[in-house]
Amino acid sequence: MAVQKWERLSQETVARTRIFDLTLQMMRNPRNGVVRDINLLETRDWVNVVAVTTGHELVLVEQYRHGIDDVTLEIPGGIVDPGEDPRDTAVRELREETGYEGTHVTSLGAVQPNPAILGNLCHTYLVEECRSAHDLELDVGEDIEVHTMPVGEIPGAIASGRIRHALVVCGIWWLATRRPDLLPGLG
């Protein structure tokens, strides 16, 4: 028997926050009829930006992450605003978080960040020929330091754990497989 979709018996939003809503759903398993309560986080789509400079470096952001209570090294990214195209979000987030702008904005792909509890997508865009052109435009809740790293050092930064955010590693994988000319040896 093939796996089937579960039947939704009810749905209730139990909490609303700035970033996500917590939804409680009562769902029936079609295989055995058991009803379970399922907690879901509802949030908008996200974007990540793989920004490559004219000097063949990746633009990275260092920032504190509450979930792990530590500082991470990541690629720029953010939440897609209502009515905003993800491509436009990528360009905006790159400018706001890093002050960089570039040319040749290309979609590398989209993934489901955690389909067990999230229903959104994370879109990854490549922006080429990036250069520093603006001051940072950080939100009140952001504290970011901008770095660049030669693309040849990226695999080592992942292997050593310096870069370990799953969606960032995925974005770099997209780059390696879709544009091996920009990140040879990883694809």
Which domains does the chain carry?
7-42 (no CATH), 46-178 (3.90.79.10)
Residue 186 pLDDT: 59
pLDDT one digit per residue (tens) for the chain, 187 residues: 699 999 999 999 999 999 999 999 999 999 999 999 999 999 999 999 999 999 999 999 999 999 999 999 999 999 999 999 999 999 999 999 999 999 999 999 999 999 999 999 999 999 999 999 999 998 888 899 999 999 999 999 999 999 999 999 999 999 999 988 887 665 5
- 48 with 125: CB under 8 angstroms? yes
Residue 48 pLDDT: 98
Bridging pattern class, strands 77-79 and 46-53 = antiparallel
125 closest CA partner among 157, 77, 164, 166: 77
| pTM of the entire predicted model | 0.93
How many CB atoms neighbour CB 123 within 10 A? 23
